[in-house]
Structure 1
């Protein structure tokens, strides 16, 4: 599975499969409605950008996840600390990290009153993994035995199988799942929205299911999906799980402008906004007071190198470029000092983060950088810097980086390549870039494996970097059931990536959210779960 994101479901806005993830600060749809609608009927209004799909397996967008995560209970969920804990499952266990026994909690029902069984999960996963169905999250099932037979490498070939051979329904409440290789992070993977169950009605008419999902979660659809306007959810009275809503419902309103959403928040016409535009953050701190929510996120920005271009082959050159980037200076100039300069390939909220792991290569030191640059033979030709137009901040910090490269390394011929967000990741997948490129990652689940293997693993990474020792350490870590030993192995792999620096870590994003006076108990997690809508209380 290679889940690469680019602007972050980041905080919040994935569209990838990885494909583009665009900041909520830059996306959304026109506001609808107004007034403190949630104050009188026990419901509240949250703002975000328009989702692409509501079929759990047909999206990798955080805007879709906002809705899906409340409509569905996955087998596992994340606790406040980012650890996988049972939700629709009673237990998920394995003796060898390859064969997993899953016990589904009895007594659950879909919103149409159909029982939730082990078959409900098996059917959903088979539908998602079957290549011809074209599900956006199809490759999230690639760890399961039989996936390759359902997804032939030749695009024109017929699949050899219609179901995952590694998924066996033992009885009404038991699944046995066999993976291609031992994978200790599998319980975390089960928290990903694509692993939600489907009722028989959804399988019978997937198109209708995408428009009006029938889930097993604490909320159900409160009407039709009003495209480019809103999605209304109401509390499901038959819910028997642990996420019992403390409110009567939530309406997800779509915005095309984050500034408009913030204006509505200030006016009390919007109750929760998960991403406040960077330019509005200083004002939001003052206006919202204790209703301003901040904290470190799980998204890191990186600068990758096209190693298939021999001009970038020397690690010393790549380290020199890293060492002339004043991360704290960019943070203050562009992000109000709220982001965290990267000192590791992993954000601090992820198990395995080590303070200062990146060391000297991530430390601003123009003098040492110039020495490394000269040792590497310098750089000839035009240095092209690639980024998308999804956020104005990308161009801002790229200009700062370019000025430092000119002033400290003497690279004078620098050109910017600002690419439409809709085309940016297709360009990177095709390896059409001719210079360093902006990239980021927000975890699908909070594991060092999700960052390191998906971003640096040989074969599918966007840099063209390959290292057998790195891959072997990741594979060994994936196999071990000892969490501490696995982290040690992931860290050893991280050290190799830092030593060769095919991609530079820059800074970790900050959560910058806010809520109105109409609601309380608002929690926005740094994980894919985002807003814990069921915990919100309406005053």
Structure 2
């Protein structure tokens, strides 16, 4: 998720972006008053409205409250969940049939309108949802957007959009609706697994098309769990099992999503048995984790892509040559070996190895450590005398950012400092407002397993997680051509051509491809963290006492 994946900046998209955090205590009975409950560490979510949630912690919480139309099997192929079927004859008009009998946790039936109303609200420009761009392919999306005369988007200045609902969404009956795309996209079924495509109940709206302001504090979903009380900001979100849920069964009666502001504090709680799962062991604890946790320390594949983005709209970073120089000034292998103890690998491409179409070393010489060449290129193109890298302090990034700064100082002879923002949400807000944060610590977890999910949201001109102002019409065109291609093979060819443009422009510095390095307490078993960096809430269970 870069998350807007504002990363999901993770997006994040979608992510997806990447965060982790910590701070609280609690008993085994936090989630619903039963001993058959678990606690899982997260960071403070930015939002808990599906269409506005594009970072990993919020997405993880929503995965327990909502049930997706599709999820993915081990071959990364989409399989129906809330949907009975999702079909198309031309990859442009899609028919979605819902499984009967599903309800929201308040008893409302889940209908076609539940999706249509949620998606229209999510796409409506003045609502300012972080995940709105994920509806961009639906016919009529453009009519829900507006721009003011100076070209800046924003509900304060912009006129009312032409429409409030997308023409591409049509109800057939209570359990069937069609989605017409503005252009064919063979991967549409996979996209529907993402958080922004969850449905909303009537109770979410104070009037047609207008969300109840308090809904986010206690979201009502169609998933296996329901919220207990309200979102306790910076403390926890507690959910309890929904009796009679029609989807895949869960094995625990409740989950407490414990919110941390510091990963080392979360790790101390894990070792002490005060939290059951930590999805990312902090850098500082990697050396001791095997001894602390034994066989409760696990590693699984991840779609995590770590990088730093340039504010390309600022003059000092507007030249690709300056950006290339900074990339060549970094010794990725030294960082992954010494800071991450080999738990991550150097990234020399712009998409993860877990997706079809990945190629090694697409970044070429720009990702090869060469201090002399970097300094020559940096000096010749007037690189800034000082570099600042801003990161979220709740994600355990200080050690590697400091190491990266030391490498930049040594290679380029310029001062470099890391600046921590307390929360990922705070960092995203500053970046969205174009405040001077320097280079931006980013992470992306895929929303769906396609190359396009790494290219479109993060790098396209209108990408939901393009926080750095990068724009290249040729790149945008190739991404679009790939999306509209008739076969997966043809799509990948176009997307690879688009990635080649990124290697020339270097809007970001690829750093690392990650794996899930996580741990859990003696109270739980069958703990799995998936490619999306989420705990599988359907597998986890308590150890019988």
Aligned to 1:458: 461
Aligned to 1:195: 197
How big is each residue's C-alpha offset from its partner over 1:9-52, in whole Å with a ceiling of 9 and x where there is no partner? 64xxx689999x5621xx34432336999998322222223434
For 2:161 and 2:521, the matched residues in 1 are separated by: 51
| Residues paired across the two proteins, number | 527
Aligned to 2:448: 445
1:235 Cα shift?
A: 2.4
1:147 Cα shift?
A: 2.4
How big is each residue's C-alpha offset from its partner over 1:154-190, in whole Å with a ceiling of 9 and x where there is no partner? 3342233232221000112211112233333322221
1:340–1:508 CA contact under 8 A, matched in 2:
yes
Q: How does 1:255-274 map to 2 (within 5 A)?
A: 255-274=260-279
What SS does the corresponding residue of 1:534 show, helix, strand or coil? Answer: coil
Q: Does 1:112 align with 2:106?
A: yes
Q: How does 1:133-532 map to 2 (within 5 A)?
A: 133-154=127-148, 155=155, 156=157, 157-204=159-206, 206-241=212-247, 243-308=248-313, 315-366=320-371, 369=374, 373=377, 377-379=380-382, 381-390=384-393, 394-408=397-411, 411-416=412-417, 418=419, 420=421, 424-429=427-432, 433=436, 436-458=439-461, 461-527=466-532, 530-532=534-536
Listed as ranges, the gaps of 5+ residues in structure 1 are none
Q: How does 1:53-92 map to 2 (within 5 A)?
A: 53-92=47-86
TM norm structure 2: 0.85
1:53–1:64 CA contact under 8 A, matched in 2:
yes
1:367 Cα shift?
A: 5.2
1:80–1:525 CA contact under 8 A, matched in 2:
no
**Inter-CA distance 502–130: structure 2 relative to 1 (3 Å threshold):** closer
Aligned to 1:46: 40
How big is each residue's C-alpha offset from its partner over 1:276-320, in whole Å with a ceiling of 9 and x where there is no partner? 222112222222122112234322222334545666566455434
Aligned to 2:542: 538
Residue from 114, 125, 129 that aligns with 2:123: 129
1:9–1:23 CA contact under 8 A, matched in 2:
no
Name which of structure 1's ranges 163-172 and 391-400 shifts more when overlaid on structure 2. 391-400
Name which of structure 1's ranges 127-136 and 34-43 shifts more when overlaid on structure 2. 34-43
2:391–2:440 CA contact under 8 A, matched in 1:
no
2:23–2:266 CA contact under 8 A, matched in 1:
no
**Inter-CA distance 252–315: structure 2 relative to 1 (3 Å threshold):** closer
TM norm structure 1: 0.86
For 2:171 and 2:310, the matched residues in 1 are separated by: 45
For 2:384 and 2:471, the matched residues in 1 are separated by: 25
For 2:457 and 2:542, the matched residues in 1 are separated by: 40
For 1:335 and 1:61, the matched residues in 2 are separated by: 23
For 2:472 and 2:520, the matched residues in 1 are separated by: 46
Please tell me the root mean square deviation across aligned C-alpha atoms, in Å: 3.4
For 1:489 and 1:361, the matched residues in 2 are separated by: 22
